[in-house]
Chain A
Amino acid sequence: MTTLLDAPSETDIDTAIVCDHCGLAVPEALVDPIADHQFCCGGCEVAYETIHGCGLEAYYDFRKRTPADRQAAKGAGKRYAAYDSDAFLSRNAGTTSNGCRSIDLRLEGVHCAACVWLVERMPTIVDGVIDTRLSLGTSRARVVWDPQKARLSEIAETLDRLGYTPHPARDKSAHSARNRAERTRLIHLAIAGALAGNSMLMAVALYAGAFEGIDLQHATLFRWISMVIGWLSLTWPGATFFRSAWVACRNKAASLDQPIALALAVGAVAGTVNVVTGRGEIYFDSLSVLVFLLLVGRFLQARQQRWAEEAVGLTLSMTPDSCRVVRDDQVIEESSEGLEVGDTVEVRPGELFPADGTVLQGASSVDQSLLTGESRPVAAENGTEVFAGSQNLTATLRVSVSATGETTRVGKLVRLVEEGLADKPPIVRFADRIGGYFVVVVSVLALVNFSWWVATAGLSGAIESTVALLIVACPCALGLATPLTMAVAIGRGSKRGMLIKSAAVLEKLTDAGRKQHGILFLDKTGTLTTGRLQVEGYTGDPDLKPWIAAVEAKSNHPIAKALFEAFTGASTTDAATISDHTEQLGDGVVATIPAGKLLVGSLRFARQEQVTVPTYLQAAIDEGHRRGHSVVLAALNGRGAGVMWLSDELKPGTREQLELLTHAGWTPAILSGDAAPAVQRVAAALGIPADSAMSDSTPEQKLLRVKSATGDEQQGPAIMVGDGVNDAAALAAADVGVAVHGGVEASLTAADVYFSSPGIGKLNELMALARTTMRTARRNFAISLAYNLTAVALAAMGWVTPLVAAVIMPLSSLSVLISAVAFGTTEVPAVATNQK
């Protein structure tokens, strides 16, 4: 009978044993009954010990992690010797005024204030570190250290041990450019605010004067000051509206800035004339406040998009920073940036390849999932091509470099992504489309109003009334409404683990122009499935399990790791009783155990070694193949004794999630780099028709498939969900690209949305958020429009004085603000999932 192994049950999280470091459940196989502390992985154990070793246990009191945030410490276990090299330091590190060095590092795994506290305690952990400052929002740390007392490699290793793997922050120029841009925005906002406030000061005096009477000389003083302030406001912070309106006009496009610029311009000119001639109303206070409020909206919008722009130099972050170069038979650890074609590098098991190349020496297996998404390793021996970013698994290889940096396959993929992103047509936003109509309608109304007044009351009255009309018709609330609604929506999204790059994404998902629901392209490995091989079933002698685990303990091969994880702990075995352990790369292991000769490996290997397979096991083998699993055989003394099924398991809850999406009208399809049987198995389990599941796809093929869907105007939006580099190009090309947790840097940059929890669970929430957001945006739009119409009517009747204008416009903005923030109280329904 085949027994299916149980995964740790999600429902009894409270009674399950949790990791003392990160709080995640500890897999049963790793629970050590006699140990004081339990950990879910080696990374957490090291981090825990390091923290306690330095007396920083307060870290655990600080941490406020919600269940959704729990993450194991992912120390890469790297050594950072290359960080000490002159080449690296001169490129990445700066010098401070007192002779110390400083460097900007990007850290992985930073979640909360406790992480900041811990990292900023580096000076107490490593002697020689003078100061460390970590920014929570960007995960960038500035480390200042004394080169006489500490080496950068030590510092980097310590950070890694704590669970915060460091990378040099490579995009320094882009980062500082972004900082400068944000500072400029902030400064403009502050100037606009100061000018608005002071202009209100002048205005209040004039309003009071309108009721109580005011000396002419005072009135003149206030009017002139008001005019100066007004012009300053329009030409300095306000210039952006004129610039953008002009650009839109030149491109024959519509933009909300056009009516705004019109109102500002008319108000300024009319006001100036009135101040100089000494009679008539002036509206500079309203104009300044208008500029300020609109800039607030833009500032909020820009701030929300910060995460999206923090892209580290992509190619370089997927390949290791340091590598071992063989020069004149000496193996030297160097920075990867210095590699050239023709160099020989040595890559040890567990390490990533720093460049594309051909194997010169050695035989090993390689994990190419970065490029293919394929979870099964590929054999590599003399003459095999290997790629930068893939992982060497079993044995040391010497490789002759054939391409480095941007010319590697991974580098080319990244370029495809960048091109895809640049080519994406900018969406004409809803609000901007309105802007075009607005100008026309308002101009017509103004003309009508003017003619009517001229006919009935004379020129000066007509001018006054029309100027007032044009100013109060300014879509201030509108200009504020959309950015505000979007900013609130993005903020809510991020609280729920959905990081959205820009509001345009939400509009796209609910695009009224096309069919509501289109195709949902799903990557398989890592998105629908866990991405790791797991033992799905075992048939045979149960006593063999601990021996299988013991024999597979040392191997780096994913199958070995899966077997070890599944079978270890079933009962104890004495490792000393195992001898003659040989690993046949890519095929299996053979060892002598007390019971005899144990072979664990692929069927081909077993056949090679002339293992006989009893009938009942043959049935299990066939069934495993039929179900699309990988089948591994364990044989004792030449006779088959156990059959194991391994597969990449579906993430829990995926089927239910997909059903919800299909009900909503989306058509799912699978795009995978994995082999057909595995893909079909997943498709069948999810109810996706076989012809919608593409297998063996290269990244380029995925891109083509997505492009053909986006090009089809009849279809609804094409959404791509993925996590690997092999999805990145497709993510960039899709109408909406979604990267899921666990994703590689490249897919995060290429995507429009990032889910911080794995799986497709959040897609439903995203759709719900998009719907609610657009509904609120439309409501705000209606409110703004109502105000504008009322105001225009009042102006036409001649009842709009500067006081009235100054009241109406902020009032409209306030009500829109309340409406935008209030939208959050109608909660985005959280879709119940069974996922951890």
Chain B
Amino acid sequence: MSIVFVMAPVALVLATVAVAAFIWAARDGQFDDTETPAQRVLFDSMDERPQDDSSRVQA
């Protein structure tokens, strides 16, 4: 049997995993606001605050 019969389904499985990850991230709200996080990257350079872990909001 040709290896292609293994490769093709595996490729599809990989694709499925990737899509599933995307769906999870989207449902988690990570794509809701794509503007503001882009701006936040600039902040660290001007920040004097010590790094702190902001508590994840679960509400």
Does A100 reach chain B (CB closer than 8 Å)? yes
Q: Report how far A217 CA is from B12 CA in the complex, Å.
A: 18
Are A94 and B59 also in contact (CB < 8 A) when A187-B26, A221-B4 are?
yes
Does A96 reach chain B (CB closer than 8 Å)? yes
Contact among A62, A102, A221 with B8 in the assembled complex (CB-CB below 8 Å) = A221
Whether the Cβ atoms of B22 and A187 lie closer than 8 Å is yes
Q: Report how far A549 CA is from B40 CA in the complex, Å.
A: 47
Whether the Cβ atoms of A131 and B46 lie closer than 8 Å is no
List B contacts of A89 (CB < 8 A). Answer: none
List A contacts of B4 (CB < 8 A). Answer: 218, 221
Does A194 reach chain B (CB closer than 8 Å)? yes
Are A134 and B36 also in contact (CB < 8 A) when A102-B57, A218-B2, A218-B4 are?
yes
Q: Report how far A61 CA is from B47 CA in the complex, Å.
A: 12
Q: Report how far A135 CA is from B40 CA in the complex, Å.
A: 11
Contact among B31, B35, B58 with A186 in the assembled complex (CB-CB below 8 Å) = B31
Whether the Cβ atoms of B55 and A136 lie closer than 8 Å is no
Q: Produce 1/0 per residue, A195-217, CB < 8 A to B.
A: 00110011000000000000101
Whether the Cβ atoms of A190 and B39 lie closer than 8 Å is no
Does A247 reach chain B (CB closer than 8 Å)? no
Q: Report how far A123 CA is from B47 CA in the complex, Å.
A: 13
Whether the Cβ atoms of B8 and A183 lie closer than 8 Å is no
Are A198 and B42 also in contact (CB < 8 A) when A131-B55, A131-B57 are?
no
Q: Report how far A215 CA is from B55 CA in the complex, Å.
A: 58
List A contacts of B57 (CB < 8 A). Answer: 96, 102, 131, 142, 144
Contact among A135, A191, A225 with B12 in the assembled complex (CB-CB below 8 Å) = A225
Chain A interface residue count, Cβ-Cβ cutoff 8 angstroms: 44
List A contacts of B39 (CB < 8 A). Answer: 113, 116-117, 136
List B contacts of A130 (CB < 8 A). Answer: 54-55
Are A116 and B40 also in contact (CB < 8 A) when A131-B55, A194-B15, A221-B8 are?
yes
Q: Report how far A186 CA is from B26 CA in the complex, Å.
A: 8
List A contacts of B23 (CB < 8 A). Answer: 187, 190-191
Q: Report how far A197 CA is from B19 CA in the complex, Å.
A: 12
Does A95 reach chain B (CB closer than 8 Å)? yes
Whether the Cβ atoms of A135 and B33 lie closer than 8 Å is yes
Are A58 and B26 also in contact (CB < 8 A) when A135-B33, A137-B35 are?
no
Within 8 A of B (CB), among A122-140: 123-124, 130-131, 134-138
- B19 to nearest A CB, angstroms? 5
List B contacts of A202 (CB < 8 A). Answer: 8
Whether the Cβ atoms of A183 and B26 lie closer than 8 Å is yes
- B7 to nearest A CB, angstroms? 10
Contact among A190, A194, A217 with B2 in the assembled complex (CB-CB below 8 Å) = A217
In the complex, the chain B residue whose C-beta lies closest to that of A135 is: B33
Q: Report how far A215 CA is from B2 CA in the complex, Å.
A: 10
- A746 to nearest B CB, angstroms? 26
Within 8 A of A (CB), among B24-59: 26-27, 29, 31-33, 35-36, 39-40, 42-43, 46, 49, 54-55, 57-59
List A contacts of B42 (CB < 8 A). Answer: 62, 113
Whether the Cβ atoms of B55 and A96 lie closer than 8 Å is yes
Q: Report how far A221 CA is from B12 CA in the complex, Å.
A: 13
Does A66 reach chain B (CB closer than 8 Å)? no
List A contacts of B32 (CB < 8 A). Answer: 135, 179, 182-183
In the complex, the chain B residue whose C-beta lies closest to that of A197 is: B15
Does A222 reach chain B (CB closer than 8 Å)? yes
In the complex, the chain A residue whose C-beta lies closest to that of B30 is: A183
Does A97 reach chain B (CB closer than 8 Å)? yes
- A141 to nearest B CB, angstroms? 11
Q: How many A-B residue pairs have CB under 8 A?
A: 90
Whether the Cβ atoms of B59 and A102 lie closer than 8 Å is yes
- B40 to nearest A CB, angstroms? 7
In the complex, the chain B residue whose C-beta lies closest to that of A198 is: B15
Whether the Cβ atoms of A179 and B29 lie closer than 8 Å is yes
Q: Report how far A137 CA is from B38 CA in the complex, Å.
A: 12
Whether the Cβ atoms of B18 and A194 lie closer than 8 Å is yes
Does A98 reach chain B (CB closer than 8 Å)? yes
Q: Produce 1/0 per residue, B2-21, CB < 8 A to A.
A: 10110010011001001100
List A contacts of B27 (CB < 8 A). Answer: 183, 187
Q: Report how far A120 CA is from B43 CA in the complex, Å.
A: 10
Whether the Cβ atoms of B55 and A117 lie closer than 8 Å is no
Whether the Cβ atoms of A137 and B36 lie closer than 8 Å is yes
Q: Report how far A135 CA is from B42 CA in the complex, Å.
A: 15
In the complex, the chain B residue whose C-beta lies closest to that of A191 is: B19
Contact among B11, B15, B46, B55 with A58 in the assembled complex (CB-CB below 8 Å) = B46
List B contacts of A62 (CB < 8 A). Answer: 42, 46
List B contacts of A194 (CB < 8 A). Answer: 15, 18-19
Q: Produce 1/0 per residue, A810-828, CB < 8 A to B.
A: 0000000000000000000
Q: Report how far A96 CA is from B35 CA in the complex, Å.
A: 26
Q: Report how far A124 CA is from B50 CA in the complex, Å.
A: 11
Whether the Cβ atoms of B12 and A124 lie closer than 8 Å is no
List A contacts of B59 (CB < 8 A). Answer: 94-96, 102
In the complex, the chain A residue whose C-beta lies closest to that of B9 is: A225
In the complex, the chain B residue whose C-beta lies closest to that of A193 is: B19
Of the candidates A61, A134, A186, the one having the most CB atoms from chain B within 10 angstroms of its own CB is: A186
Whether the Cβ atoms of B55 and A98 lie closer than 8 Å is yes
In the complex, the chain B residue whose C-beta lies closest to that of A62 is: B46
List A contacts of B33 (CB < 8 A). Answer: 135-138
List B contacts of A98 (CB < 8 A). Answer: 55
Within 8 A of B (CB), among A31-65: 58, 61-62
Contact among B8, B29, B36, B58 with A225 in the assembled complex (CB-CB below 8 Å) = B8
State the 10 A-B residue pairs at the shortest beta-carbon distance, nearest first: A94-B59, A113-B39, A131-B54, A97-B58, A136-B36, A102-B59, A135-B33, A58-B46, A194-B19, A190-B22
Additional A-B contacts beyond A183-B32, A186-B31 (15; CB < 8 A): A120-B40, A123-B54, A130-B54, A136-B35, A138-B33, A142-B57, A144-B55, A183-B27, A187-B23, A190-B22, A194-B19, A198-B15, A201-B11, A218-B4, A221-B4
Contacts A/B (CB < 8 Å), 20 sampled: A58-B46, A61-B46, A98-B55, A102-B57, A102-B59, A116-B40, A121-B49, A130-B55, A136-B33, A136-B35, A137-B33, A137-B36, A183-B26, A183-B32, A198-B12, A201-B11, A202-B8, A218-B2, A221-B4, A221-B8
Q: Which chain A residues have a beta carbon within 8 Å of chain B's beta carbons?
A: 58, 61-62, 94-98, 100, 102, 113, 116-117, 120-121, 123-124, 130-131, 134-138, 142, 144, 179, 182-183, 186-187, 190-191, 194, 197-198, 201-202, 215, 217-218, 221-222, 225
